[in-house]
């Protein structure tokens, strides 16, 4: 019987720029249950961004005309937004998909479509500092994976997540933005089921599903950015694999928006 277990990793210290996140994860795991081959280490992106210094201090930001316009639009809709924070969102975006009621849905430089280009004030040390998405989340995942192997000897996969809103449905889900050592998609297209029929739901976003599973054990208000998942060995690979970038749907193929 297939089974999956996900556990939040406790005991991580407060993170700062320059910290060796892999070392901190290895240490915290050592105190609890050491990392073993075949585990998936799921990391909320803020932990990665903080350690990589992917933060912006508002004091140094000068809002453009466009940022001032969007702040005025937001204010007219009853949402007070700092035009400097909007400028940071614009700087992280290659396109604004929607701008309504004080909310910006953006396509980021990585190609992700999410609210405010993933820019986030929460969990930062103060309101004057914004946390960005990692510059290269797949690269971050690969580096952390290699470092964990160096430190512990264990071959694990690493998944970096953020919480994204979805079309058609309320609420956010944690999805994969960086990945190493795991296949992002499980492709069953063309295979037949136990009754010999072609399978319809045949291309499963297993990395996103793993992010969602991890979200269920991590309290959003606590310092538990890391979740260890066991039971996904069949999706893990020796090499780093194509990363979370392989989950991005080209615009011209997108029928679901």
Site for a second copy in 75-104 (CB under 8 A): 97-98, 100, 103
Which residues in the 125-144 window bind a second copy by CB under 8 A? 125, 127
173 binds a second copy (CB under 8 A): yes
Which region among 63-71, 77-85, 117-125, 145-153 touches a second copy (by CB under 8 A)?
Answer: 117-125
Identify the residue among 17, 23, 32, 79 touching a second copy (CB under 8 A): 32
Nearer to a second copy, 221 or 239 (CB): 221
Q: What are phi and psi of 8, to 5 degrees?
A: -70, 140
30 binds a second copy (CB under 8 A): no
Identify the residue among 16, 31, 135, 166 touching a second copy (CB under 8 A): 166
Which residues in the 5-24 window bind a second copy by CB under 8 A? 5-10
Which residues in the 40-69 window bind a second copy by CB under 8 A? none
Q: At what angle do helices 45-52 and 21-32 cross, to 10 degrees?
A: 130
- Rounded-to-integer distance, Cα 123 and Cα 181, Å: 28
- Rounded-to-integer distance, Cα 210 and Cα 205, Å: 9
Q: For residue 206, give the nearest of 220, 193, 223, 188 by alpha carbon.
A: 188
Identify the residue among 38, 68, 121, 236 touching a second copy (CB under 8 A): 121
- Give, in order, the Cα–Cα distances in Å from 108 to each of 42, 135, 231: 22, 10, 32
Nearer to a second copy, 180 or 229 (CB): 229
Which region among 17-25, 54-62, 137-145, 214-222 touches a second copy (by CB under 8 A)?
Answer: 214-222
- Rounded-to-integer distance, Cα 150 and Cα 35, Å: 12
- Rounded-to-integer distance, Cα 225 and Cα 47, Å: 6
Total residues contacting a second copy (rule CB under 8 A)? Answer: 83
Q: For residue 49, give the nearest of 148, 172, 178 by alpha carbon.
A: 178
Residues in contact with a second copy, shown as a per-residue x/- string from 193 to 212 under the rule CB under 8 A: xxx-xxxxxxxxxx-xxx-x
| Least distance in angstroms from the C-beta of 150 to a second copy | 26
Take residue 30 and report the two structure tokens written for it. Answer: 């050592």
């Amino acid at each position: 019987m297939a089974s999956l277990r996900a556990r939040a990793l406790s005991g991580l210290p407060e993170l700062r720029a320059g910290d060796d996140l892999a070392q901190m994860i290895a240490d915290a795991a050592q105190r609890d249950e050491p990392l073993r081959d075949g585990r998936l280490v799921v990391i909320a992106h803020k932990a990665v961004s903080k350690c990589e210094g992917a933060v912006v201090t508002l004091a140094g930001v000068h809002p453009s005309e466009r940022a001032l316009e969007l702040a005025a639009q937001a204010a007219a809709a009853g949402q007070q937004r700092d035009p400097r924070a909007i400028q940071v969102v614009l700087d992280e975006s290659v396109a604004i998909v929607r701008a309504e009621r004080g909310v910006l849905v953006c396509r980021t430089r990585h190609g992700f479509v999410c609210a405010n280009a993933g820019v986030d004030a929460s969990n930062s040390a103060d309101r004057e500092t914004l946390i960005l998405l990692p510059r290269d989340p797949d690269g971050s995942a690969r580096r952390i994976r290699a470092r964990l192997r160096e430190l512990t000897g264990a071959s694990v996969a690493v998944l970096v997540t953020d919480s994204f809103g979805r079309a058609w449905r309320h609420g956010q889900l944690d999805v994969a933005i960086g990945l190493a050592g795991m296949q992002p998609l499980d492709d069953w297209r063309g295979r037949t089921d136990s009754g010999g029929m072609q399978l319809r739901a045949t291309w499963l976003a297993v990395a996103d599903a793993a992010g969602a599973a991890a979200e269920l054990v991590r309290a959003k208000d606590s310092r538990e950015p890391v979740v260890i998942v066991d039971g996904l060995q069949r999706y893990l690979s020796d090499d780093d694999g194509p990363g979370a970038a392989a989950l991005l749907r080209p615009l011209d193929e997108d029928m679901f928006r």
